[in-house]
Structure 1
Amino acid sequence: MINIVEKGKRILQKHLKIFAAHGLCPNKCGLLYQRVMNCTSCQYGLFTCQSATPPLDCGEHHLEADEGEEVVLDCFLCWHALVVGQTEYHYSWHPGEKNLSHDGEYEVLVVTKESKIVLNQLKVNEEDMYRCLLQDKKGTTLSRMYFKLKVNPLPSTTPRLIVALPSLPSGYDTTLHGLQRSSLIIILILLTVLSITGSLVIIVNLRVSMKWQEEERDRRRGEEGEDVENIELMSGCDPKRHE
């Protein structure tokens, strides 16, 4: 009977190890506190589930996006839903270093209850290392994840070709050229004024000539009418009877 009890105890301990490793503690990384009951005292307590991997580290993810686009950072793990109490995700950024590492100071981006954040309108200087920490209300870090972001710059537009004017020959006097240009402009203005004046004189002369011709035509018509009347009076005939 004692041997049977000891064997059963060893079997139970073996199954408890397997259960603690896979059923009670599903976390493959980070730190998880599970609320369990002690079968001896019937009291609840916290069971520490420490992963076999380096403490708290849950890997590094490599992301890539083009400039002006957006990227999503999400550090949710399935066992986060089993964490006792309230938790928050702390996102921070480690900018401006070529030799990126997990050490060093990080600038805080946002603290949120959501596991994911969206980076909009990406710029080239926003690449580098991002970190996500899951912390409980006491400030204990339960998991840590890194994101290596690379932002591809947009292709630069083809610069417009600027045509350079040829340089002036040696010995070229710009002052003389300016005077010649001014003289040419003055001559053109004078020619324009003379042309307009000549056109006005011609128009006036034509108007006077046409008016004189009309007056001369009217005068001749008046003289011809008087001659006809004189002839009729001298002949003493009635024009109607004559017809």
Structure 2
Amino acid sequence: MVTLACVLLPARGCVLCDPSVVDGLKNLVDSYLPQHLPPKDQEDVIKRLESAVREFQELPIDDQTYMGAVDEPTLHKAAWSFLSDLGHLTSSGVKGDVMVKELFWMIQRQKKRFVDHSAQFLKESYCPNKCGLMLQALIWCKACEKQVHACRKSRDCGERHIEVREMEDMILDCDLNWHQASQGLTSYRFYRVWDNETEELLTEREQPILAKPMVGPKDAGNYRCELGTVTNSPATIIYFHVKVLPKETQEEEPQFMPAPENGVPSTLTTALQEPTTLQEPLDPAAMLKIELIWLLLPGLVVVVCSTGAL
């Protein structure tokens, strides 16, 4: 056990940079092997375990498989996977040769998984930023030391064209997908760039967005966003060209009549469907009686008035 402990400490190899993995292997030698393996076989298994641990340290470093450095989330993921397999082995209670075979088969599988976990740190994709200065905190597996790796590319991240209408909100977004993973970043500064090439600082904030409500023609022009770092040099610079369009006029929408049926407008159809009441003409005798009444009416009035005077 003392020999294994001496090997585990210098023989790192990333997955062993996690102290919980070292403790798990020590517990395997101290508690599990004595109860599940004859004493005469324990020494040989420990030597083979030492060799397997060294293989973790001696994983070949090349452009296509393993770079020798990972970030903390990847290390924690690999350590959890290793301890999970080790826990399944010790909880199964297997003994003797079966236990030895499963132990080393598990270690070989974990080495392959670790290579898969660290594939994102190949040289081709070692710097996920296409522009700007990204500071990555990586763990270098040989010595288990955390160092900041600088991915240096052009700080000029291009120009974005923004169109906004009058009285609407103008939004300038300075965020890039790798900003959250970078170390040593400070704040975003938004500048107004005038035609005479002078600049005016509008705001400095931790959020990558500048929002200006109800813009007008005077807000059209050029802007610049700069993300600072602890070294007082910008990580990224993004330019914005803003065009303010005239306010959109609201035209009155025409009111359409319902589609006619069989080519006849609905109003005409309704009129045709409603019944029309026609008055029948009076017969000549009735008309003659009415005319006589109108002729006798004045004389009747005179008679009544004379009778009243008497």
**Which position in structure 1 is the counterpart of 2:189?**
90
The higher radius of gyration belongs to 1
Matched, 1:109 2:202: yes
Deviation at 1:42, TM superposition (A): 2.6
TM-aligned CA deviation for residue 19 of structure 1: 1.5
- Where does residue 165 of structure 2 map in the other structure? 66
Root-mean-square deviation (CA), in Å? 2.5
**1:1-243 pair list within 5 angstroms:** 9=60, 12-15=62-65, 16=67, 19-22=122-125, 24-51=126-153, 55-96=154-195, 104-154=197-247
Q: 1:142 to 1:21 in 2, by over 3 A?
A: farther
- Taking structure 2 as the reference length, the TM-score comes to 0.40
The Cα offsets for residues 85-115 of structure 1, whole Å up to 9 and x where unpaired, read as: 3421110011245xxxxxx332101000001
- For 1:130, the aligned partner's letter is Y
SS of residue paired to 1:92: strand
Q: Secondary structure at the match of 2:122?
A: helix
Relative to its length, the structure with more strand (as a share) is: 1
Alignment check: 8 A CA contact 2:166 2:214 kept: yes
SS of the aligned residue for 2:218 comes to: helix
Measure how far apart 1:58 and its partner are.
1.2
CA 1:72–1:126 in structure 2 vs 1: closer, same or farther (change >3 Å)?
same
Shift of 1:72: 0.7
Offset, 1:18: 6.7
What residue identity is the alignment partner of 1:142?
A
Higher helix share: 2
For the residues of structure 1 that align with 2:193 and 2:224, how far apart are their CA atoms?
8
Paired residue total: 138
Tell me the secondary structure at the aligned position of residue 140 of structure 1: coil
SS at match of 1:88: strand
* TM-superposition CA deviations, 1:118-153 (whole Å, max 9, x none): 111212122111111111233221111111001124
Structure 2 gaps, min length 5: 1-58, 68-119, 250-310
Contact 1:89 1:134 in 2 (8 A): yes
The one-character-per-residue Cα deviations of 1:32-81 (angstroms, maximum 9, x if unpaired) are: 01111233333221111123xxx111121101112221111101111001
Change (3 A) 1:21 1:134: farther
Distance 1:19 1:117, change over 3 A: same
Q: Aligned equivalents of 2:167 and 2:181: distance in 1?
A: 37
Which residue type is aligned with residue 149 of structure 1? V
Question: d(CA) in 2 for partners of 1:141 and 1:85?
Answer: 11
2:134 alignment partner AA: L
2:160 partner letter: H
Give the TM-score taking structure 1 as reference length: 0.51
The code of the aligned residue for 1:31 comes to: L
Q: Percent identity?
A: 29
1:88/1:112 contact within 8 Å kept: yes
Task: Report if aligned partners of 1:67, 1:121 keep a CA contact under 8 Å in 2.
Answer: yes
